Chains A and B, each alone.
Chain A
């Protein structure tokens, strides 16, 4: 099959333009975060002063975001992987409908989910003022990603037959789940885990409405710095956030390239 030269050239040109459009602003932000004075330009010299200032002002939001992400991951693993196995066992219409239902908190705007949580649970004082409220929102938003990734890991390799064989040999449900199902779905579960942590660390739409002044997470701090700090500090904070995302995204792409045909990632941060 030959492709026309015009086709290839157009494709290459648009691809490069899109890459520049997506990455250019990121480079701009990184350089602004490391420049002594952005308005003077790089001539004013490079500095880590702004990064240090971000650490001083916002270190608590960084730790809190990691904590929220890890608790969210723990909950989605504990409830999402078993749910994925049950959905795998029942591949019919009802299971599809149930998975569709679980995906609603991703399909419906985060603002609506946050308002719903506030009108129903906001009056429970200890919950409203604790990080748990944010974790609940994050679990709702990330659970479908965990279930889908774990399910994808459970599809291949005649897992159901293996499980039935183990049952025939007298293995308990616990043994079958932890010794057969979980190891078989390992790569799917790891993909799901990386996705959950990435999404939780960057979640803003729910968190903005669910947080209190004492439970600010990183994206909430980012919004705060964009509104009130000088451009260099905001950029340095963004740089810290990007550095936190980088290993997660590299891991995800590595796993996705191994486990799916096209190397596609099914992930989308809250916009």
Chain B
């Protein structure tokens, strides 16, 4: 009879807290399978990959990491990838912002749910499918080419180069960004905007002085997500043609065509670290901005 009330004591008491801690600790073993799988199939293999990048490829004198940063063809590929990803990110943010503002400000209109469903459906499309859709629209047999030939007599084919890739990136980045920005626009405190309007601020000034600062952390986070996604994209490029010089294709070529595993490993590690660092920095920044408010 004495033990029961003690066990049921409020958790704020010392014994209670210790009991709660011990109770929590008893749960730890159920997380072991997930941890084991992650360590065995991701963490250790990744460490091995990073180690392989330090090896010297056949017929070379320095480690693959050194080659990757010194040989122009590798950093040219890296620069290409960064430029394309950055361009696609900025274009996506610029296009997604008005869409998100419109959808957030008009929560009730006929057909809104269907419209949202259409905008979000492409979230599930893998890169290969996006590449195919780009070919269907801007490829040799695409709609754009047919129209262009009918109107001007000149063919217009964008799909198999950087322009096609840019369109593909916009295609998979837009649905990812619209949802994130919509939530952020919904979160803006309307009282600020109303106060500014009462004080006579024009719509344009309200947008610049109130909305954009309030959205800065969401824009940063969404931008980082776009950039990281674009940097690692492989399926889209793969469908459009393997002659486009971006890092994922370079890695794939080194691995499959030249069996140059050290360089493929070094490039993968550089690409992985770069995308992770961008995401981490943006999340830290967005977190700080959220706390500062």
Residue positions of A touching B, CB distance < 8 A? 1-4, 6-8, 10-12, 14-15, 18-19, 21-26, 28-29, 32, 38-39, 78-80, 82-83, 85-87, 89-90, 101-102, 104-105, 107-113, 115-117, 119-121, 136, 139-140, 143, 147, 164, 167-168, 173, 177, 198-199, 202-205, 208-209, 219, 222-223, 226-227, 231, 234-235, 238, 241, 245, 248-250, 253, 257, 261-265, 267-271
Contacts and interface: CB of A to CB of B under 8 A. Distances in A.
B129 A262 contact: no
Interface string B140-155: 0101000000000000
Nearest to A220: B128
Nearest to B237: A271
A25 B30 contact: no
A138 B136 CA distance: 29
B24 A89 contact: yes
Contacts of A19: 115, 118-119
A136 B41 contact: yes
Given A22-B175, A164-B20, A257-B113, 18 more contacts: A1-B194, A3-B105, A4-B203, A7-B203, A10-B98, A79-B37, A86-B28, A116-B42, A119-B45, A119-B52, A143-B37, A209-B255, A222-B128, A226-B128, A226-B132, A231-B136, A231-B141, A238-B132
A269 B123 contact: yes
B271 interface: yes
Contact of A117 (B45, B117, B141, B174): B45
Contact of A223 (B34, B118, B128): B128
Contacts of B68: none
Contact of B45 (A25, A116, A168): A116
Interface of B: 7-8, 11, 20, 23-24, 26-28, 30-31, 33-35, 37-38, 41-46, 48-49, 52, 95-96, 98-99, 101-103, 105-106, 113, 115-137, 141, 143, 170-172, 174-176, 178-180, 182-183, 186, 190, 193-194, 197, 203, 207, 228-236, 238-239, 248, 251-252, 255, 261, 264-265, 268-269, 271-272, 275-276, 279
Nearest to B233: A271
A138 to B, nearest CB: 11
B5 to A, nearest CB: 10
Contacts of B203: 3-4, 6-7
B137 A14 contact: no
The SS class assigned to the B binding surface is helix
B222 to A, nearest CB: 12
The SS class assigned to the A binding surface is helix
Nearest to A141: B42
B271 A22 contact: no
Of the candidates B27, B43, B236, B279, the one having the most CB atoms from chain A within 10 angstroms of its own CB is B27
A263 B171 contact: no
B238 A223 contact: yes
Contacts of B228: 107
A249 B121 contact: yes
A248 B124 contact: yes
Q: Which 7 A-B pairs have the closest CB atoms?
A: A11-B102, A109-B232, A120-B45, A82-B30, A116-B45, A25-B133, A112-B268
Contacts of A202: 124-126, 129
A167 B8 CA distance: 10
A235 B269 CA distance: 36
Nearest to A112: B268
A268 B133 contact: no
A219 B180 CA distance: 27
Nearest to A161: B11
A111 B105 CA distance: 40
A54 to B, nearest CB: 14
A261 B117 CA distance: 16
Given A111-B268, A115-B265, A248-B124, A271 B130 contact: yes
